[in-house]
Structure 1
Amino acid sequence: MGIPNETDVLIVGSGPAGALLGCLLARRGIDVLVVEKQPDFERDFRGESLAAPSVIALRRLGFGPALERHGYLESSGVTMWLEGRRIFHVDYNRFSVGTLPIEFPQPPLIRAFHEGAAGLPNHTFAAGTRFTGLLEKDGAVRGAVLKQGDGTAVEVAARLVVGADGRFSKVRKAAGLDPEIAQAERDLLSFRLPRPDGWALESELVVDHDRHLAVLPTYPDALRVSHNLPKKGLGALRKAGFDSFRERVAAIDPRLAPLLEGHLRSWDDTSFLEVFNAQVDQWARDGLVLVGDASHTCTPTLGQGVNLAFQDVVGLTPLIAAALARGERDGVVRAGVFAAFLAERRKHKDFVTGFQRRQESSLAMSTPWQTALRRARMRTLNALPVKYRVFDRLLNLPHGIDPADER
């Protein structure tokens, strides 16, 4: 199917947020064009942790059978180790939400969203297609310029353009919505290892002074491991040599030592992530709205990026549908229709990123006095019921599903 010259909604980016939004809007009879610069979904995604409310939402939206057919891992909790001692633990079974978070790879999830729209004549997906600029008139966005895989440029008129193109969003830049970047003190180098039999199915944070590992069981039989390094410290780490890097990781968590020796062989087995928060003061313009990482880039702490994106999509879908049904002035969906919803989203995003910044500061502590204070603080928090209130608010914000979207 070719790229249409006009559509109701043009979604740039077919990650989880863009693909889900395209499916939900198409189910409502709205003409949707979803474009993705990559030719397929077979690439490395880090955001595989789906919080319990996201799992519930996906099932209510009709994607439960796809989750079951593929398979997933349920996560039972989160544990924090400080200098070799198990100091902090949250048991997810104690939350009233009634469902556990799951680990589920993104490529099959995105495919499930596209399959959910398959056969709908008003849904078009264009892989290998790049966004190159916005079409604007009288201060409003009226569509976008796209470049197909063969280099052909296409202008597509749209009543709404959705920027779902991630943490380095080109749509955001073209719209003049410049983010305020808050760099974290450290970046991350991640890799995968085989998961030993009997390994606990929970997220673990293993900390030794100012060095740490995040160790997450991953479907079907792997561990995702992230190791911190100083900002702009990748060059020095590589200069010290790969054997030195493996020894550094094993010193933090000796359980990984035999796995590192046999399965982490070169820098090619690792993946670098620059860690930062991006705050965009304005998430919408007339004819345009940003979702997911394009509007609120978070750090990887507790894997909230994909879950925040799903919250955006579930809330925006009925607003977009209602605006299109009303027939806004000049046919353009005005930014004002999103104002109240985006104000609430910003409050929750600020809570999440505030928690993440405090966690980053705590992990950067290195002196004996600082680490002793950190142990005492985490041990005290672990003994108090308030930890469950904090994590419940952080992880379990309900997704309000419109009945029109349920399947």
Structure 2
Amino acid sequence: MTAPQANKPKTNEPKTNEPMQNEPKTNEPITTEVCVVGGGPGGRALALALTRLGRRVVLLEQRAGGARAFRGESLSPDGVRLLAGLGVLERVREHAHEVHRLEIADGGARVLDVRFDAFPYAYRRPVELAQPVLLAALAEAADEHGGCTVLEPASAVGLLADGPMIRGVRAKTPGGIVEIRAQATVGADGRYSSVRRLSGLERGARRTPLERDVVWMKLPFPAAWDRRAYRVRISSGRHGLFLPSTDGTVRVGLNIPKGSLRELRSAGLNALHDRLVELAPELAQEAAEGVTSWSDTTLLDIFTTDVRRWSAPGVVLIGDAAHTLSPILGQGVNHALADAAALAPLLAGALATPRGGRPAALAEAVHAFQREREAAVRRSRGLQLRQERMFTLASPPAAALRRTVYRALNASPALQRKVLAPAYFPGQVPAPAAAPARTEQRT
């Protein structure tokens, strides 16, 4: 790929903070208002939101053609609302699979059955949406608005610094090194964020490993199951997530003790099948057909990351780069979209000030962004950690207490709203009881 050309460098240009050894040729620099590093849902949504507000963006995507590793497909009702606000919901509607209920079974008995339509919000139903479809829709919408240049494959290898102020990114591309000079740089590059590390914000990060890892796989969908349901199956201290996928399969997240994959693999593939069947006996045939080698599985290391400061002069983090969450209740994509929706108007406003992008205006914008978003992230993290502890209770008295708690939750719609609304409906206010669900499929 040949890097886009730009104007000749000005005098007194910023310097890079991490020079490379034996690096390829350096191309003409690119000048923009915002450089977004990372082409996942958060980065793509932010680029779209900024172009809708008239700002110029350069987006770096590390993987050519959006060929990304296994990622979550679950969008909460609030995530659906955010897509509607970005103007892309209609683009993806025919590819989305609505979910109507959440079911938890413990010890072979159903203890919780949540009906999403019972919640008093305009957008009530979660959807499953393949991430390539979502990313393509966000990219197409941004392209139609104009103002967004995408470099792919391109990875950030350094930041441009002018004293304490970050003024852009040095990116490695197949055509050589490109400097993207920007008034604001956004790290949307995930749980192992390069921008977080390069900017020094990693020093304020606290990583908390959870007690489990997750082995992900896809299986044929059993004929007897309701395709409109999320399922959690618990057996003593073991549990698994069973999520309908848009391709007609069921995505399975099997939780195993932290670091125990090698032990599980040494026991053979039948040991994996046995664990699946222990949680969901009706999946015996599907497990045998769907997982014929370990290459049919993917391991996700489960941890949370709490970054004390999401920003430094000229740079800000969003999504997993700022606050890595666990896969419980499918919060990662939704918080990335919410971050993009919150940051875009603040950043656009700061860039629109006289002598746009002044450090003081940008600093106030990113500080306001963190103030607005960190409470919601904290609530989701707390709920996830409580659920993680509940799922892993193994002793008979503790498991009996867990079943009692879930049955109490099942019996009380008011308690369901109190517990689940912060996860599924954080940005919505109750709608009139008679209002129809806004996510209803047109079928």
Which residue of structure 2 lines up, in the alignment, with residue 95 of structure 1?
Answer: 119
Q: Distance in 2 between matches of 1:330 and 1:80?
A: 49
> Residue 403 of structure 1 aligns with which residue?
none
Tell me the CA shift for residue 329 of structure 1.
7.6
Which of 391, 399, 417 does residue 363 from structure 1 map onto? 391
Change (3 A) 1:328 1:355: farther
CA distance in 1, matches of 2:85, 2:163: 40
Specify the alignment match of 1:277 in structure 2. 304
Match status 1:317 vs 2:344: yes
**Cα displacement (A) at 1:301:** 0.5
CA RMSD in angstroms comes to 1.7
Task: Note the C-alpha offset of 1:328.
Answer: 5.8
Q: CA deviation at 1:120?
A: 4.7
Q: Which runs of 5+ in 2 are unaligned?
A: 7-29, 430-443
Equivalence for 1:2: 3
For the residue of structure 1 that corresponds to 2:66, the secondary structure is coil
Which letter maps to 1:92?
F
Give the distance between the partners of 2:42 and 2:264, measured in 1 at CA.
34
What is the CA distance between 1:119 and its match in structure 2?
A: 4.8
For residue 376 of structure 2, the aligned residue among 337, 348, 356 is 348
Shift of 1:53: 2.0
Cα deviations across residues 211-246 of structure 1 (Å, max 9, x unaligned)?
111001111311010001111111111111111111
Partner residue in 2 for 1:84: 108
Question: Contact 1:311–1:399 at 8 Å: present in 2 too?
Answer: no
What are the equivalent positions in structure 2 for 1:155-234 lying under 5 Å apart?
A: 155-178=179-202, 179-200=205-226, 201-234=228-261
Contact 1:191–1:226 (CA<8 Å) still a contact in 2?
yes
How far does residue 158 in structure 1 lie from its aligned partner after superposition? 0.6
Give the C-alpha shift of residue 174 in structure 1: 0.6
Determine the C-alpha separation between the residues in 2 that align with 1:26 and 1:168: 27
Distance of 1:304 and 1:280 partners within structure 2: 17
CA distance in 2, matches of 1:44, 1:144: 24
| 1:215-254 map, 5 Å | 215-254=242-281
Q: Does 1:55 align with 2:80?
A: yes
Structure 1 counterpart of 2:35, which letter? L
User: Counterparts of 2:105 and 2:224 in 1: how far apart (Å)?
Assistant: 18
**One-letter amino acid of the structure 2 residue matched with residue 342 of structure 1:** Q
The 5-angstrom pairing of residues 93-132 of structure 1 reads 93-99=117-123, 100-132=125-157
* CA shift in 2, pair 1:328/1:214, >3 Å: farther
CA contact (8 A) 2:77 2:126 kept: yes
1:75 corresponds to which of 99, 104, 107: 99
Runs of 5+ in structure 1 lacking a partner? 401-407
* Distance in 1 separating the partners of 2:147 and 2:64: 21
> How many equivalent residue pairs?
398
Work out the CA distance in 1 between the residues paired with 2:372 and 2:146.
34
Structure-2-length-normalised TM-score = 0.86
Moved over 6 A (4+): none
Distance 2:224 2:262 in 1: 36
Is the 8 Å Cα contact of residues 285 and 334 (structure 1) preserved in structure 2? Answer: no
Instruction: State the match for 2:417 in structure 1.
Output: 388
Partner letter of residue 276 of structure 1?
Answer: F
Q: Which moved more, 1:35-44 or 1:172-181?
A: 35-44
Aligned partners of 2:130, 2:428: CA distance in 1, in Å? 21
Secondary structure at 1:19's aligned position in 2? helix
1:61 positional shift: 2.3
Q: How many Å separate the matches in 2 of 1:58 and 1:306?
A: 11
CA contact (8 A) 1:73 1:220 kept: no
Per-residue deviation, 1:19: 0.8
2:113 & 2:49 partners in 1: Cα distance? 37
Residue aligned with 1:326, SS: coil
CA offsets per residue over residues 303-352 of structure 1, 9 Å max, x none? 01100111111111111110000046874463222223312311111111
Give the superposition deviation at 1:355: 0.8
> Does the Cα contact within 8 Å between 1:164 and 1:290 map onto a contact in 2?
yes
Identity rate of aligned residues, in percent? 34
Could you tell me which of 297, 305, 316 is aligned with 1:289? Answer: 316
Q: SS at the partner of 1:196?
A: coil
Q: Quote how far apart the aligned CAs of 1:135 are.
A: 1.1
The 3-state SS of whatever aligns with 1:88 is strand
Is contact 2:222–2:282 with CA below 8 Å preserved after alignment? no
1:397 and 2:398 matched:
no
Contact 2:80 2:127 in 1 (8 A): yes
SS, match of residue 157 in structure 1: strand
Q: Distance in 2 between matches of 1:348 and 1:61?
A: 20
SS at match of 1:118: helix
- Which secondary structure does the structure 2 equivalent of 1:387 belong to? helix
Instruction: Give how far 1:198 is off.
Output: 4.9
